Amino acid sequence: MPRTLTLLGLESSCDDTAAAVVQRDETGVANVLSNVVVGQNDLHKAFGGVVPEIAARAHAEKIDHCVENALHKAGVTLDDVDAIAVTAGPGLIGGVMSGVMCAKGLAAATRKPLIGVNHLAGHALTPRLTDDPAYPYLMLLVSGGHCQFLIARGPTDFSRIGGTIDDAPGEAFDKTARLLGLAQPGGPAVQNEADLGDPKRFRFPRPMLDREGCDMSFSGLKTAVLRARNDVMVDQKIRIQDVRDLCAGFQSAVVDVLAEKTRRALTLYLAEAPEFPALAVAGGVAANTAIRAKLESVCAEMNITFTAPPLALCTDNAAMIAYAGLELFEAGQRDGMDLVARPRWPLDSASAPMLGSGKKGAKA
């Protein structure tokens, strides 16, 4: 029986400052004891996107309060913690450095092990925190900065079999919201309006469905939304029903592309691992109910087990970093005071680098 392990996790790679405590008991069940996330939407609102310097300063100001709060909510002290896990990349470098410096300080002061975690691995391992699927499984990681299909074989063993060649879907949601005068982050705002719109009125392109494989492209969609918006605007104004129909048309294009590319990714994955028919989805866009429902039905069609973490664990959080840290700790990883913050850190270094660099930093 494994002993109880308690990990403190820190996350600061984009615009959420977060700290969490995750504990795995001696029966092997992992529990989130606390999950503190302080967002920065208000700070960036006026700029229409995340401003790296503002983000870094806010992380530096908030991270130690988040840690205190997370320990307090979990009912533990630093003495009870077995190791300190921190996002060491990829992300906006100033933010990642804030977290790494804080974690190093804590590790040095308490003499606890320090574990640098890849933010993408945090997302990709979240299903194991919530549902404990065995390795391997196919992962669709879909967020504001990332979109990729990964075969997860272990906490440091991932193969990327496809992904976006330009924007991530979350970026497309955010840009569409901006074009239509909706609030940021755009995903939830676009989803709410789409629920009240007609998805058939505007027929937006489904990019790259004519190409083999499971690479995707989302940057053309926002241009299509821009054109359609300009066509329906009168005196620089847009009617609310037009906004809703545009949102519904846009969302349905994203849903169709993700569904078809997921079918193809599953087919590729099953050729390698037919005895493990499992798909997990994570990242902020996995919070979208239309996307979740469609992926669930694709999996049902193909007899695949579908796992989607609860919404609070889909968007950026530190519980996923603490959990990934836990698996890495058990695998023997220990980092020293020379741990570096990395703006880019592909999960699968054997695959060619992805193109493009979005508002949320370089795509790994």
Position 207 contacts ligand KG4 (CB under 6 A): no
Per-residue contact flags (x/-) with ligand KG4 for residues 282 to 311, judged by CB under 6 A: -xxx-xx-----------------------
* Residue 185, binding choice from Zn ion, ligand KG4, none, Cβ under 5 to 8 Å by partner class: ligand KG4
Instruction: Find the shortest distance in angstroms from Cβ 293 to ligand KG4.
Output: 12
Residues 14-33 that bind ligand KG4 (CB under 6 A): 14
16 binds Zn ion (CB under 5 A): no
Q: Output the six-digit token pair for 61.
A: 């100001």
| Pick 132 or 195: Cβ nearer ligand KG4 | 195
Is there a contact between 251 and 188 (Cβ–Cβ < 8 Å)?
A: no
Q: Which of residues 35-54 bind Zn ion (CB under 5 A)?
A: none
* Cβ neighbourhood burial of 300 (10 Å; 0-12, 13-18, 19+): exposed
Give min distance, CB of 143 to Zn ion, in A: 5
The residues, any chain, with a CB within 8 Å of residue 236's CB and separated by 6 or more, are: none
Binder of ligand KG4 out of 94, 136, 163, 187 (CB under 6 A)? 187
Q: Is 155 in the site for ligand KG4 (CB under 6 A)?
A: no
The one-letter code for the residue type at 203 is R
**Does residue 143 interact with Zn ion by CB under 5 A?**
yes
Interface pick for ligand KG4 out of 17, 87, 143, 176 (rule CB under 6 A): 143
With binding defined as CB under 6 A, does residue 170 bind ligand KG4?
yes
Distance between CA atoms of residues 268 and 181, nearest Å: 40
Q: How far apart (Å, rounded) are the C-alpha atoms in residues 364 and 360? A: 11
CB of 343 to Zn ion, least distance (A): 14
State in angstroms the smallest separation of the CB of 65 from ligand KG4. 20
> CA 79, CA 37: separation in Å to the nearest integer?
22
Nearest Cα to Cα of residue 115 among 81, 88, 79, 146: 88
First to last CA, the chain: 37
Positions 309 through 328 that interact with Zn ion (CB under 5 A): 316
- Minimum CB–partner distance for residue 227 and ligand KG4 (Å): 22
**Chain residues that interact with ligand KG4, rule: CB under 6 A:** 14, 143-145, 170, 173-174, 185-188, 191, 283-285, 287-288, 315-316, 360
Q: Which residues here bind Zn ion, judged by CB under 5 A? A: 143, 316
